[in-house]
Structure 1
Amino acid sequence: MFEDCLFRDRAAYFPDERTLVLADVHLGRDRASNVEFSLGEREDVLSRLDALLSRFDPREVVVAGDLLHGFDSVPHGVERSLRAFERHIEDGGARLVVTRGNHDPMLDSVLEGVVADYSIGASLACHGHERPDPAAGYVHGHIHPAITIEGRKRPCYLRGPAADGGEVLVLPAFTRLAGGVDVARAGSFRSPLLGEPDTYRPVVLDEDVDETLAFPPLSALRSHL
């Protein structure tokens, strides 16, 4: 499963379903930071989204949770960012589907039709903070995976067995304001869908040459990092 997925800029594209999946956009994260100037969150998210829409021409864009960042409020300007996010997807000829993440308790106040999970072929897109109904495969976010290679920390995808016997693909955080959790140093993952970290294989996109690099399981990789 997931062999046909195409990886680009922290997102995954399912060609058979013409579905683009990303997770952990965290709109409003820049406003939650301690700096006094704009971090360019909206411009960065929208320009990268446009590039993905242009490259893949998806029929659907699925956000696998944590579209928003704030737990108990929608800060000034965030709803405008959300409307722009919706508009860019609509202008790209796609339909937006959003699954609920643990950061999204306020999402219903600004967006209609939020769902707990969403089927993409035989896989289920969800956020990964709660256990959904059983499926053959899961696509989720939540843990913000990253890996340090030659002193450089890079966002990564994770592939491996789900805790219930299915297969799982974990996406890196779409926002570049998230530092990421170094999976090679993690003793456990904060998701009921994931088991022992040693069983998961990092997948890193080398954007300089547009090449996807699939590494061996963490059990074999750790000694080389």
Structure 2
Amino acid sequence: MTPTYDDRALLLDGTLVLADLHLGRGTGGNLELPIGSGADVARRFETLVDRHRPSEVVVAGDLLHSFQTVPRTVESVVESLRATCVDRDADLIVTPGNHDTMLESVWDGPSPASHRIGDTVVCHGHEVPEAEADRYVVGHDHPTIAIEGQRRPCYLVGPEQFRGATVVMLPSFNTLNAGVEVNRMQAADFQSPLVTDADRLEPVVWDESGREAVTFPALGEFRRML
């Protein structure tokens, strides 16, 4: 199964996967989610579901941002995501991340530690998963890459990263997250224990204007080109 990339998410065998929505994140502290950002998340989510018509949608962790409170604005956005899936006959599944300590206050649907799609396991990636797989799709680190002085959210695709399996790391779906520049990062710099060889991670950048995914050389080679 070859992933289809689109707007910080990916489609894999009829399943849409996105990560790190961080609903409730404001400009600092524990501010509520700005109306514009909440609308942006819900709108882009709906666009992806309408475009790809998945049978299920999986949030790979950190649906929420705050560890302590869940503003009403967040509840309304979560309900919007749920309604989008219900209206399109898609199942919505949330695999909890480290920020999702208040998940039960807004979500009563499926919330397994990981979710399997054939030989692929989806999880947040903040801790070692119990499930064995040929490929893991994770979030957690919010990768970005700097190209010609401009930072862009990116996917990272690495073979033989964890237990011999491929790891695909998604960028944060929330555009408020600045992300972490991975250009010169080594494996020990990543928060996810599933990254074991940063030199072999290939950045993939989604070009919205051309509606295509652009793959760059693996970070080990890419650094030598800078």
Q: Corresponding residue for 1:201?
A: 202
For 1:58, give the aligned amino acid. Answer: P
Structure 1 residue 35, shift from structure 2 partner: 7.8
Verify: 1:80 aligned to 2:81, yes or no. no
Consecutive unaligned residues in structure 1, runs of 5 or more: none
Structure 1 residue 34, shift from structure 2 partner: 8.1
Whole-angstrom CA distance in 2 between matches of 1:189 and 1:48: 27
Relative to the length of structure 2, the TM-score reads 0.92
For residues 51-66 of structure 1, what are the structure 2 equivalents within 5 Å?
51-66=47-62
For 2:11, give the aligned amino acid. Answer: Y
Verify: 1:38 aligned to 2:38, yes or no. no
Whole-angstrom CA distance in 2 between matches of 1:58 and 1:34: 33
Q: Is the 8 A contact 2:8 2:170 kept in 1?
A: yes
Verify: 1:165 aligned to 2:164, yes or no. yes
Whole-angstrom CA distance in 2 between matches of 1:36 and 1:26: 11
Q: Is the 8 A contact 1:30 1:39 kept in 2?
A: no
Task: Return 33-42 or 22-31, whichever deviates more.
Answer: 33-42
Whole-angstrom CA distance in 2 between matches of 1:34 and 1:152: 28
Q: Is the 8 A contact 2:25 2:33 kept in 1?
A: no
SS of structure 2 residue aligned to 1:190: coil
Verify: 1:120 aligned to 2:117, yes or no. yes
Q: Corresponding residue for 2:127?
A: 130
Give per-residue Cα distances to partners, 1:83-105, cap 9 Å, x unaligned: 11111121222110100100001
Q: Corresponding residue for 1:9?
A: 7
Verify: 1:20 aligned to 2:5, yes or no. no
Q: Is the 8 A contact 1:108 1:114 kept in 2?
A: no
How many percent identity over aligned positions?
47
Q: Corresponding residue for 1:217?
A: 218
Structure 1 residue 191, shift from structure 2 partner: 0.8
Relative to the length of structure 1, the TM-score reads 0.92
Q: Corresponding residue for 1:153?
A: 151
Q: Is the 8 A contact 1:125 1:140 kept in 2?
A: yes
Q: Is the 8 A contact 1:31 1:75 kept in 2?
A: no
Task: Return 147-156 or 80-89, whichever deviates more.
Answer: 80-89
Aligned pair in 2 of structure 1 residues 91, 5: CA closer, same or farther (>3 Å)? same
Whole-angstrom CA distance in 2 between matches of 1:37 and 1:73: 12
Whole-angstrom CA distance in 2 between matches of 1:125 and 1:99: 8
SS of structure 2 residue aligned to 1:97: strand
Superposition RMSD in Å: 1.8
Consecutive unaligned residues in structure 2, runs of 5 or more: none
Give per-residue Cα distances to partners, 1:183-204, cap 9 Å, x unaligned: 1132321111111311211111
Q: Is the 8 A contact 2:30 2:66 kept in 1?
A: no
Aligned pair in 2 of structure 1 residues 203, 100: CA closer, same or farther (>3 Å)? same
Aligned pair in 2 of structure 1 residues 202, 67: CA closer, same or farther (>3 Å)? same
Give per-residue Cα distances to partners, 1:22-56, cap 9 Å, x unaligned: 00011101275588993612110111111111110
Structure 1 residue 109, shift from structure 2 partner: 2.3
